[in-house]
Amino acid sequence: MSSTGDTSTAARPSTSENRRQPFPQGFLDTISTGWAARPQTLPPQRDQAPYAARRRAALSAQFPGKRLVIPAGDLKQRSNDTDYPFRAHSAFAHLTGWGADAEPGSVLVFEPTDDGHHVTLYFRERADRTTPEFYGDASIGEFWIGPRPALAAVAADLGIDTAHIDTFSPGDGDLVVDEDAELTRAVSELRLVKDEYELAQLRLAVQVTADGFDDIVRQLSDAVAHPRGERIVEGVFHRRARSDGNGEGYDTIAASGPHACYLHWTRNDGAVVPGDLILVDAGAEVDSLYTADITRTIPVSGRFTDIQRTVYEAVREAADAAFAVAKPGVTFRTVHETAMGVIARRTAEWGLLPVTADEALDADRGGQHRRYMVHGTSHHLGIDVHDCAQARREMYYDGILEPGMVFTIEPGLYFQIDDETVPAEFRGIGVRIEDDVLVTADGVENLSAALPRTADEVEAWVARLRA
């Protein structure tokens, strides 16, 4: 990584003084000359622009007379003078249509008018090459990070008025996302039902993710051969997510053997051992920032043992039961309760519970089966992996399923390696099967159906791709 030069006030504040090198006068005299003229052609409007406009209109109608401020967010420091990759706030991306190419520090503002709101997108205009910012500021200077978008180009691209961020002034009565609870709730609930553009992007994200899972299976032998094989699995998926999308929508879980029993295992530093299962929970985020979220549990050697198959098929039974009940008019929580009924019955049947399945399912005194599946069966999915998370409970967990909603179905069973409440042969087995589903007029469509689900299908998948 190159070192920044000395630009006085333009230099990045976190850059150590002893790394700054002064620019000679000859450089300063010539750096602003000799550049070709920039193209002035405006881009066509992007496909998502009219959808974003409708979303803005829907939000405007909820807050008459109020000034609404939705910031994209700023770069976040990783360490010293390096930053994490920028990812715009989900509400900002949803309402502007700006995805992976959004500019840090941008702000979307709804100014109240007599008949609604006038909306303006504020961001930093590209620097004139005669200014020190162009060559001297490593965080925003085009000499360092490449061309920045022009106000006119973004206005044409997104179909929205634009202005330089220097002309934006916050007001005392502003409602700001993540500061005002009502606005934060509203922008979250706005995403509960997806529009046609969102559904197309989610299908794309699922396809890229499915291709990434195929890559993992093809390269399982490489993972087995490496002492930190989980990292190999993570890296294989990362290559697909970056080459065909923007990256991952969340940290990949590549959990082999007993690690599969830790629900959010993301260290991914363990071995991938034949005879074990590897649980991979991964989702590709595409350039629009919509993400998939899929889990498959794969026998490393290509075949399940008898006990692994028993656990796996119980989880699939729970998932199938959830699929069968999910349809418009049903509450979101019914999907979870249905899957948990299977989990309770199977764990009771195996003698793992101190009570009957019915007793375990008692809302007040039960829950014994939750030891082996502590998480929920479903969550909404979209521009966030856990989308609509700030929605009211009556709109989410107790909400009614509607066509256009997209969520996961992901039951699991996890028997940790040191859990003495289960027989030894169960310990260290973790299984989750997660699919992304779209509510239709009469049920749900499994968007991730291209990936194998049954134990037999998974074994055939491994045999075919590793042949």
Buried b / exposed e across 174-204, counting CB within 10 Å, b at 16+?
bbebeebeebbbbbbbbbbebeebbbebbbb
> Going along 80-181, which residue ranges are E strands?
82-83, 107-113, 116-123, 161-164, 175-176
Q: What would the 3-class secondary structure string for 317-356 be?
A: HHHHHHHHHCCCCCEHHHHHHHHHHHHHHHHHHCCCCCCC
| CA distances to 190, 334, 386, 396, 397 from 401, in Å | 15, 10, 17, 9, 10
Residue 380 is classified by DSSP as B
pLDDT of residue 16: 55
Superfamily, domain 39-189: Creatinase/prolidase N-terminal domain (3.40.350.10)
Q: Which pLDDT score is estimated for 9?
A: 36
CATH-assigned architecture of domain 196-465? Alpha-Beta Complex (3.90)
Exposure of 343 by Cβ count < 10 A (0-12 exposed, 13-18 middle, 19+ buried)?
Answer: buried
Structure confidence at residue 39 (pLDDT): 80
Of the candidates 132, 127, 129, 135, the residue with the CA atom closest to the CA atom of residue 103: 127
Joined tokens for residue 394: 């009556």
In this structure, the number of other CB atoms found within 10 A of the CB of residue 167 comes to 8
**Alpha-carbon distances, residue 163 vs 56, 59, 129, 166 (angstroms):** 18, 21, 19, 8
Domain ranges of the chain: 39-189, 196-465
Tokens of 356: 């009957």
Instruction: Compute the distance between CA of residue 149 and CA of residue 216 in angstroms, rounded to an integer.
Output: 37
The whole-angstrom separation of Cα 264 and Cα 258 is 13
Query: Could you please report the per-residue DSSP string of 56-104?
Result: HHHHHHHSTT--EEEE-----EEETTEEPPP---HHHHHHH---TTPPT
Q: Is 37 exposed, middle or buried (0-12, 13-18, 19+ CB in 10 A)?
A: exposed
pLDDT, residue 127, reads 80
User: Residue 294: enclosing H or E segment and its boundaries?
Assistant: strand 294-299
Tens digit of each residue's pLDDT, the chain (467 residues) = 554 444 333 344 445 566 677 899 999 999 999 999 888 899 999 999 999 999 999 999 999 999 999 999 999 999 998 999 999 999 999 999 999 999 999 999 999 999 999 999 999 988 888 889 888 888 888 889 888 899 999 999 999 999 999 999 999 999 999 999 999 999 999 999 999 999 999 999 999 999 999 999 999 999 999 999 999 999 999 999 999 999 999 999 999 999 999 999 999 999 999 999 999 999 999 999 999 999 999 999 999 999 999 999 999 999 999 999 999 999 999 999 999 999 999 999 999 999 999 999 999 999 999 999 999 999 999 999 999 999 999 999 999 999 999 999 999 999 999 999 999 999 999 999 999 999 999 999 999 999 999 999 999 999 999 86
Q: Which residues contact 4 (CB under 8 A, 6 or more apart)?
A: 11, 12, 15, 19, 20, 81, 136, 138, 144
| Residue 456 identity (one-letter amino acid) | D
Q: How many CB atoms lie within 10 A of CB 14?
A: 12
Residue 74 to residue 88: CA distance in whole angstroms: 8
Q: Count other Cβ atoms within 10 Å, centred on residue 30.
A: 9
Q: Is 133 helix (H, G, I), strand (E, B) or coil?
A: helix
What is residue 14's predicted lDDT score, i.e. its pLDDT?
46
pTM score: 0.94
Roughly what angle, to the nearest 10 degrees, separates helices 49-62 and 151-158? Answer: 90
DSSP state of 400: B
Dihedral in degrees, nearest 10, Cα atoms 351, 352, 355, 359 = -110
Distance CA 356, CA 378 (A): 25
pLDDT of residue 313: 98
Start-to-end CA distance of the chain, whole Å, equals 42
Phi, psi of 80, deg, nearest 5: 45, -115
In three-state secondary structure terms, 119 is: strand
Alpha helices in 195-282 (DSSP H): 196-218, 220-225, 229-244
Q: Residue 288 burial (CB < 10 Å; 0-12/13-18/19+)?
A: buried
Cβ atoms of 308 and 302 within 8 Å: the answer is no
Residue 450: predicted pLDDT: 97
> What is the SS3 assignment for 434?
strand
Cα 90 to Cα 104: distance, rounded to the nearest angstrom: 13
